[in-house]
Structure 1
Amino acid sequence: MNTESLLVAEMLVFAKVVELHSFAAAARQLDLTTSAISRSVGRLEAYWGVRLLNRTTRSLSLTELGAEVYAGCAQLAHTARDVHAAAGHYADTPRGTVRITAPAVFGDSWLAAQLPSFRRRWPEVQLSISLSDHAQDLSEQGLDLAIRIATPAQLPPNMVARALRPVGYIAVATPQYLHDLEMHLGAPLQHPAQLLALARAGQVQCVALGYGGFQNRMLWQSAEASPADRGAAATEPIEVELPAPVTLDSSNGILSLTLQHQGIGLVADFAAAAALAGGALVQLLPDWRLTGSYGQRIAYALHMPSRHVPLKVRTLIDHLVAAGKAR
């Protein structure tokens, strides 16, 4: 590599270090070692005979000259990204690696099932997927795509979002547990008020999501008609609070306990789909829907804004959108 080419490469590395405020973060994103990143910046400083960064064990800051140099390096990096993205945008065939983060249970239960058909159609695209319930920073972690379950109001304003599919929360139980509840009632379970009666008699409990606003408090609303079709009084949700001796932050854990007849499980619909289809679980009160904390959300595909979204990313998003519509 000649001096000019080497200088450009070092400038791009320097821009990434400043952008991420970290040698280690830049190393992860550029797939280099931290020491290689440090040497690269050192060579740039030696080439110009100036100090660009003030370094301590805990922080980095730009020198006065470093700030001026960074402005030019950042523009160079921006231009390089635009050229790279434009080339990928107009390529005939999607190829390369798409790095994705998704919620753990959603990734296991729904996302993974959509990938074989995508890979059969686009074998030159590799998928690197990190399943985590903690929101990750796409820029810092070097990710192309994040799948998040949220309401529209919860979406980050600095990202582009496409809706993949709705996500509802449902109450499920084993057929045996439901049978026992109906034996206590002496009638089919058809109304949330019956759950209240069972709770007062100490004859029912639930296994609930134990984080955020979820917990064991449920608001039930009839699914038969919208508020526009009926009077406001008729559409007031019915509040039900059940004993919850166990709460978990995982739908898979809730399903495991529910399948062992430990109570009514409150889970996302995609997590319970296989058990419902196989008859191991049944949905309670299917003519009612949960609102409030357990109200419907949407699974979104999020990516950073760009004039040219890489073809490999656009193709995967389109595939997932189509899968969500076809479910």
Structure 2
Amino acid sequence: MEDRQRVLHPLPTPRITPLMHLFNEMAVFAHVVRCGGFSQAARALGVEPSSVSRSVARLEKSLGARLLVRNTRALALTEMGSHIHAECEKMLAAARNVQDLAGHYGASATGLLRISAPVAFGQVWLAPRLAGFIEAFPDVDLQVVLDDRPIDLVDERVDVAVRVTEAPPPELAALRLCAAPYVLIASPGYIEAHGMPQRPEELTGHRCLHLGFGAFGPAWPFQRGNETLAVTVSGRYSIGNSLALATAVSGGAGIGLVPEFSAAQGLSDGMLVRVLPEWQLAGTYERAAYLVYAAGPHVAPKIRALLDFLGAGGRPPRSGP
């Protein structure tokens, strides 16, 4: 008797289907199983039964496996179909969770809010106000990074950042927080020992301190009405932090140029006095503090809450008339 060669028929090679199509077909398949039939699933989905049948057929072809055993009276899952159905249900559950999560975050301020700010401004202006923010929004957690470099919001996963600048970056949305002019300061003891300058030119005869980085050097531009002039000063050292510079000046180190917010406490308690208050520092020293964040049509509620809170002067916005 002639031996017959056994012919093996390989399983069909699964066809790669774009994920978006596959997700849709998986959802339809899950509805068929859940509803117990093609017609019932079609009614639930609001489509024709033939559309449901074609969708399941495409899924089976894509996966290279029979998922359902069908006859005129019943529908049953194959072994593979049972495993696939379980994964499809997980996918739908994940989609529902995403919807619920988006709804939750879209409805109220919640989650972790990462904020970056320059060191001195963060200490003096921002930190005292954030105490009220966390009181007003108990579902928002804050992580504040104080750093004088202009960080990249996307690369460092920061939600909002404070920039003390002449103008905010055009690619970012911005809320103006306050003016941040630069002022000349000295200690009462230094003025008593060395005299109070009456004009900017007289600063060349004094010890002068400046930040010493970027545009904040020894060339100081002044303006009073229509009168403008520039003076190049000299001093024994510079300090790259405005709070530290104000502290050195209060100890009698000389006349310093700092942002007004860094000098405010010393001016208030009498440890510092203004020098040439009728003159304004011009050019790069005409600055304001801005809260910047990614521009776009959708602002996360936690960011919107901070914008509204700081925009209202560090008080919870009124919710009623």
Q: How far is the alpha carbon of 1:89 from its aligned partner?
A: 6.4
1:296-325 deviations in Å (ceiling 9; x for gaps): 111111111232211111111122222289
Map of 1:287 onto structure 2: 278
Question: Is the CA contact 2:175–2:291 (under 8 Å) kept in the aligned structure 1?
Answer: yes
Map of 2:10 onto structure 1: none
Structure 1: gaps of 5 or more residues = 1-6, 9-47, 49-78, 183-187, 226-234
Q: Does 1:305 align with 2:295?
A: yes
Q: How far is the alpha carbon of 1:192 from its aligned partner?
A: 2.0
Map of 1:120 onto structure 2: 135
Q: 1:88 to 1:248 in 2, by over 3 A?
A: farther
TM-score (norm 1): 0.62
Q: Does 1:96 align with 2:111?
A: yes
Q: Does 1:87 align with 2:103?
A: yes
Q: Does 1:168 align with 2:181?
A: yes
Question: Is the CA contact 2:109–2:301 (under 8 Å) kept in the aligned structure 1?
Answer: yes
In the alignment, the residues of structure 1 paired with residue 101 and residue 296 of structure 2 have an alpha-carbon distance, to the nearest angstrom, of 9
Map of 1:218 onto structure 2: 220
Q: 1:159 to 1:87 in 2, by over 3 A?
A: farther
Q: 1:320 aligns with which of 301, 307, 310?
A: 310
Question: Is the CA contact 2:221–2:230 (under 8 Å) kept in the aligned structure 1?
Answer: yes
Q: 1:300 to 1:311 in 2, by over 3 A?
A: same
Map of 2:211 onto structure 1: 209
In the alignment, the residues of structure 1 paired with residue 277 and residue 103 of structure 2 have an alpha-carbon distance, to the nearest angstrom, of 50
Q: 1:324 to 1:164 in 2, by over 3 A?
A: farther
Map of 2:72 onto structure 1: none
Question: Is the CA contact 1:165–1:324 (under 8 Å) kept in the aligned structure 2?
Answer: no
In the alignment, the residues of structure 2 paired with residue 84 and residue 151 of structure 1 have an alpha-carbon distance, to the nearest angstrom, of 42
Q: 1:83 to 1:286 in 2, by over 3 A?
A: farther
Q: How far is the alpha carbon of 1:119 from its aligned partner?
A: 1.8
In the alignment, the residues of structure 2 paired with residue 123 and residue 324 of structure 1 have an alpha-carbon distance, to the nearest angstrom, of 15
Give the alignment of 1:9-28 within 5 angstroms. none
Larger mean CA deviation between 266-275 and 315-324 belongs to 315-324
Q: How far is the alpha carbon of 1:156 from its aligned partner?
A: 2.7
More helix by share: 1
Give the alignment of 1:149-298 within 5 angstroms. 149-152=164-167, 155-182=168-195, 189-196=197-204, 199=205, 204-222=206-224, 225=225, 235-293=226-284, 295-298=285-288
1:90-146 deviations in Å (ceiling 9; x for gaps): 41x322211111111110111001112212221221110111111222112121111
Question: Is the CA contact 1:89–1:308 (under 8 Å) kept in the aligned structure 2?
Answer: no
SS of the equivalent of 1:123 reads coil
Question: Is the CA contact 2:173–2:292 (under 8 Å) kept in the aligned structure 1?
Answer: yes
Q: 1:243 to 1:324 in 2, by over 3 A?
A: farther
Q: 1:83 to 1:248 in 2, by over 3 A?
A: farther
Question: Is the CA contact 2:129–2:314 (under 8 Å) kept in the aligned structure 1?
Answer: no
Q: Which amino acid aligns with 1:138?
A: L
Q: How far is the alpha carbon of 1:256 from its aligned partner?
A: 2.5
Larger Rg: 2
Q: Which amino acid aligns with 2:214?
A: G
Q: How far is the alpha carbon of 1:282 from its aligned partner?
A: 0.8
Q: 1:195 to 1:156 in 2, by over 3 A?
A: closer
Question: Is the CA contact 1:164–1:324 (under 8 Å) kept in the aligned structure 2?
Answer: no
Structure 2: gaps of 5 or more residues = 1-18, 21-62, 64-94, 316-321
Give the total of aligned pairs: 223
In the alignment, the residues of structure 1 paired with residue 261 and residue 184 of structure 2 have an alpha-carbon distance, to the nearest angstrom, of 12
Q: How far is the alpha carbon of 1:84 from its aligned partner?
A: 8.3
1:28-56 deviations in Å (ceiling 9; x for gaps): xxxxxxxxxxxxxxxxxxxx9xxxxxxxx
Could you tell me the percent identity over the aligned residues?
33
Question: Is the CA contact 2:250–2:272 (under 8 Å) kept in the aligned structure 1?
Answer: yes
1:180-228 deviations in Å (ceiling 9; x for gaps): 232xxxxx543323334xx1xxxx1111110112112212212xx4xxx
In the alignment, the residues of structure 1 paired with residue 117 and residue 146 of structure 2 have an alpha-carbon distance, to the nearest angstrom, of 5
Q: Which amino acid aligns with 1:246?
A: Y
Give the alignment of 1:104-115 within 5 angstroms. 104-115=119-130
Question: Is the CA contact 1:255–1:265 (under 8 Å) kept in the aligned structure 2?
Answer: yes
Determine which structure has greater relative contact order: mean sequence separation of CA pairs < 8 Å that are 6+ residues apart, divided by chain length. Answer: 1
1:165-190 deviations in Å (ceiling 9; x for gaps): 111101101011112232xxxxx543
